[in-house]
Amino acid sequence: MSKKQLALEIRGLEVNYGAIKALKGVDIDVYEGDVVAILGANGAGKTTTLKKISGLIEDSKGSIKLYGKEIINMEANQISGLGIAQSPEGRAIFHDLTVEENLKIGAFLISDKEKIEKNFERVYGYFPVLSERKTQVASTLSGGEQQMLAIARALMGSPKVLLLDEPSLGLAPLIVQDIMDIVKEIKEEGTTVVIVEQNVAQTLRIADYGYVMELGTINTHGKADKLAKDPKLIEAYLGKH
């Protein structure tokens, strides 16, 4: 069995917000075709890590490589062009546009019309409800549907690495389960996924590997099935029982 390729390699990542050190030397490996979870409480540095990978934060030190290519000082549009797409925290869809118009924006870097059509088929396959609502204005969708739209829009760009920031935030448990199952399906079709979450139990169910962040550093990391049985993690995030 051939060894998996390293899709994303983060070394010594530091990010400052003025005098505040948000990240203090973070190391993360993401192998091709895996779902990697970044877990932790609010303020741990999870969203900052994703924003830096996407090129949305400037003040930083360290290294971020995508398939061996250094991207830490690149602009967000260059990084997007190399194959990284993010579904941001809080959905951040275009509320006044229709579902279909939102999805078209996700494919703005693709000039091949046939590829765009295939991507529409793909995302409507994952999220049939979006196909039913394609002419509907995005603001009229339910919270769960808006989250699906945010993920689908990111997938429209055919990313090599998909970044998901808190996809379960504010959603009912059954909807969360559906979205996590779809993330697993996306992974099984070959897309590498980095998912930032506070919902530890659901995330570890679908992840291959996990990193637990605390105050800007990696506290612990390991295979998802082992982390799910870690007594300290269970007590901190899942409750003592």
- What pLDDT score was predicted for residue 199? 85
Residue 8 in any domain: the answer is: yes
Confidence grade of residue 33 (pLDDT, cut at 50, 70, 90): very high
Q: Using one digit for the tens of pLDDT, what is the confidence trace for 110-167?
A: 899 999 999 999 999 999 999 999 999 999 999 889 999 999 999 999 999 999 999 9
Residue 46 in any domain: the answer is: yes
Residue 147 in any domain: the answer is: no
User: Which is more confident, 218 or 19?
Assistant: 218
- What pLDDT score was predicted for residue 241? 44
- What pLDDT score was predicted for residue 238? 57
Residue 106 in any domain: the answer is: no
Residue 59 in any domain: the answer is: yes
Residue 162 in any domain: the answer is: no
pTM reported for the whole predicted model? 0.92
Q: Using one digit for the tens of pLDDT, what is the confidence trace for 189-241?
A: 999 999 998 888 889 999 999 999 999 999 999 999 999 988 877 777 655 44
Q: What percent of the chain has pLDDT over 70?
A: 97
Residue 134 in any domain: the answer is: no
Mean pLDDT of 173-178: 88
Q: Which domain holds residue 217?
A: 1-83+198-241
DSSP string, 65-83: EETTEE-TTS-HHHHHHHT
Burial of 230 (0-12, 13-18, 19+ CB in 10 A): middle
Q: To which residue do tokens 């003025």 refer?
A: 18
CATH number of the domain residue 23 falls in: 3.40.50.300
d(CA 14, CA 218): 12
Residue 40 in any domain: the answer is: yes
Compute the mean pLDDT over every residue in the chain, rounded to the nearest whole number.
91
Total number of domains constituting the chain: 1
Mean pLDDT of 67-91: 92
- Sheet with 84-87: list strands edge to edge: 84-87, 161-165, 192-197, 35-39, 209-214, 217-223
Confidence grade of residue 188 (pLDDT, cut at 50, 70, 90): very high
- What pLDDT score was predicted for residue 1? 44
137 vs 53, 102, 130, 153, CA distance in Å? 30, 9, 11, 15
User: Which is more confident, 1 or 210?
Assistant: 210
pLDDT > 70? residue 41: yes
Contact 216, 24 (CB under 8 A): yes
Confidence grade of residue 69 (pLDDT, cut at 50, 70, 90): very high
